[in-house]
Chain A
Amino acid sequence: MKFTPWSQDVALALLATLREEKGPVLMALQLMQKEFGYVDPACVGLIAHFFNKSRADVHGVLTFYHDLRTTPPLEHQISICVAEACQAVGVRTLAKEAKARFGDMVNDSFCFGNCALGPTAMVDGKLIGRATVGKIESAFQ
């Protein structure tokens, strides 16, 4: 997936689109991640200043949510559902194989709502049912 390289000017322009929103901090962090692929540590002070919050407020939100990351993403993003319905169809083995093959690109996730066609993975934004290591690899964008 393609992301914009981190830029404070781009970030400020994006934050301006949220000026009218009530409770904008989480939305702001999500917007940063969508644009740059991650939330640059510089965003904390920027968002705090822009919305008149404390840095602690923003840091607290940033560190609470599993979706938000503070380092640039790797080449591919692979999330494998490791919850019960996928466990019932062997995801424990699949997750181990995938981690051996793709290393740190693999993240655990909990449920994509594809529980009748598991195991399920999300690969670079595409949902894969009845997932195998081979299907994951061929889904790379």
Chain B
Amino acid sequence: MRVFVPGDSAATSIGADEVAQAIALHDPSLEIVRNGSRGALWLETLVEVETPTGRIGYGPVTPDDVESLFDADFLKAGAHPLLLGKIDAIEWLASQDRITFARVGIVDPSSLIDYEAHGGLVGLRKALLLTREEIIDEVTESGLRGRGGAGFPVGLKWRTVSQTINAEKYICCNADEGDSGTFADRMLIEGDPFTLIEGMVIAAIAVGATKGIVYLRSEYPHAISALQRAINVARANSVLGSQILGTSYEFDIQIRIGAGSYVCGEETAMLESIEGKRGVVRAKPPVPAIEGLFGLPTVINNVLTLSTVPMILAEGAKTYKAFGVGRSLGTQVFQLAGNVARGGIVEKAFGVTLNELVHTYGAGTLSGRPLRAVQIGGPLGSYFSTAQLETSMDYESLLTAGGMLGHGGIVIFDESVDLAEQAKFAMEFCAFESCGKCTPCRIGSTRGAETIDLIIRGVKVDENKKLLLDLCEVMTDGSLCAMGALTPLPVKSAMINFPEDFTGAPK
């Protein structure tokens, strides 16, 4: 009899380990699988039991509920106030388009056998029958764009690296998910790490790389151990190593751990950090595809990007691009965060509205107080007002609306939020995390925080607002990377969409 108790660190942060211990203590004969999270974090700890008719869920379970679950005979799907019924039938999950997250929460993340039983390695096996060109054509055809935030076409990047003549090339996976409000990379690595490994192997074959690096944040210790365990299993089963699945292809992956720097999520700062140096941004060109890690051609992709590749190879580009709208094809793994009643992972085709995400899935605020603002795309993303809830969630529509998709994080705020304080925080965060290479970011962020402080205190409000907008323009146009160039986005959107918070009047 198998019982599933998520080992995902969001679930363990509210007691999943204690729930698992209580179940094991009560019945030591049970096999407890520590799966990833289904993504419905408002139901954690979500305990599932395997029954002849499918997996039945109970949640949110606390350690104190365990006795009563046994009393209710939950192993046979007995009635209990926390009974949710068949997990696959829960509307919140069933209505999603789970592609990248298809296996997360379902499989045992440490088992390659379980991974294969759920469609794993099909994409890699197909790729091994194709030429390098054909793999890149398939990825190009799918329309997949970089999910880290920049949205660069993946096929184009891979082709550039593929056409370089160096004998040594790198695949670098950017898992430095530092944006507040985002946790999809972490959950995927903890819940389905073999998908990322498979995606990296396919990328390596396509461009002719033999070495892979995953740059993973130190703030994610559980993801680090989950990925290392999966890499060891992959090596032992020839998914990594010198003869991948019995072919002559060679590829291996090493994890490099970050050290608490946000700017190291910027791709060139990440390369510097992997090289063991200060995480200072590099000027481009040369682009990393030509001169990347240790000066060699390097594919840099986000966790979600690489983890989507196996499905594209397995099911075909046409299946993938049937999802989405315009030039935003496929699905996006949205993350509902902050003051939200039903937070977690919502993977939907591009084109879903902000309102559907915030209200249909998020069910409004956690506090129950009226919704006031939504920040989309992390600390460098715009603050949207409730008047903008009908915005379509795709790369182009968000740009038109004065925002950006970023890594798909959606942070919800109730009426207690003060947007002038949020704008000031955006500047302070930039000042704290700036690598210091270029002046608009290094100095501008500090001056920006000071200027917003003057506005909050009611000092020469109109003059300082004008000055702040001018400073934002300098930072946008004069910064080397997105850190300085996009910090004005939350600041300006807060000023434009919430002018009533910038009057300097006492609050």
Query: A residues bordering B, Cβ < 8 Å?
Result: 22-30, 57, 60-61, 64-68, 81, 83-89, 109-118, 120, 122, 125, 127-130
Contacts and interface: CB of A to CB of B under 8 A. Distances in A.
B9 A115 contact: no
18 contacts: A29-B259, A30-B259, A61-B277, A65-B260, A83-B180, A85-B181, A85-B337, A110-B178, A111-B178, A111-B182, A114-B9, A114-B10, A115-B337, A115-B409, A116-B336, A117-B13, A127-B12, A129-B14
Nearest to A112: B219
B411 A84 contact: yes
Given A83-B379, A84-B411, A89 B366 contact: yes
Given A87-B425, A116-B337, A127 B9 contact: yes
Contacts of B10: 113-114, 116-117, 129
Contact of A113 (B182, B260, B375): B182
Contacts of A128: 13
A77 B15 CA distance: 20
Nearest to B337: A115
A59 B311 CA distance: 45
B412 A84 contact: no
A66 B260 contact: yes
A61 B256 CA distance: 15
B413 interface: yes
A127 B379 CA distance: 22
Contact of A84 (B12, B183, B277, B425): B425
B179 A30 contact: no
B244 to A, nearest CB: 22
B238 to A, nearest CB: 23
Nearest to A27: B276
A103 to B, nearest CB: 21
Interface in B166-187: 177-183, 185-187
B338 interface: yes
B340 A116 contact: yes
B276 A24 contact: yes
Given A26-B277, A110-B180, A67 B425 contact: no
Contacts of A28: 276
Contacts of B337: 85, 88, 115-116, 118
Contacts of A113: 9-10, 177, 182-183, 185-187, 217, 219-220
B182 A26 contact: no
